[in-house]
Amino acid sequence: EEEYRLIKEIWAHSDTRIAVRFVYEYKKDGKWFRAHGNENWQFDANGYMEERHASINDVPIEESERKFHWDRSGPRPEDHPGLTELGL
C-alpha cells in the first residue's frame, strides 16, 4: 500500500470496550482504493487488549474521488474534516 492515510472515529465505549469506525485511502499498483471498516477491542483488568474484532471492505475509487489530501509525512492536520464531516 502506498499513499496510506487513515481517519478513525470513536463509535461507542464502556469501561472495558471500545468500538471505532475508520476509513483509509491508499494506492496499490497505481490504482486508488478506499477501505471502510469497524474495529472493536475488549480490555482486561490491567488495560491490555484481550480481544479484537475488525471488518474491512475495500472499494476501488478514482483519484478524483479521494477525500484525504494531507501531507502523509505527518499526522492528519487538526483542521482536516473527520469522517462525519466528510459524509463517510
Task: Report pLDDT digits (tens) over 45-64.
Answer: 999 999 999 999 999 999 99
Amino acid letter, residue 3: E
Mean per-residue pLDDT of the chain: 95
Give me the pLDDT at residue 60, please.
98
The residue count for the chain: 88
Do the beta carbons of residue 41 and residue 52 sit within 8 Å?
A: yes
**What is the phi/psi pair of residue 69, to 5°?**
-120, 10
CA separation for the pair 84, 88 (Å, rounded)? 6
pTM of the model: 0.85
Q: Which residue pairs from 75-81 have beta carbons closer than 8 angstroms and sit at least 24 positions apart in sequence?
A: 76/5, 76/6, 76/7
Q: Which of 37, 36, 33, 34 is nearest to 55 (CA)?
A: 37
Q: Report the share of the chain in percent with pLDDT over 90.
A: 90
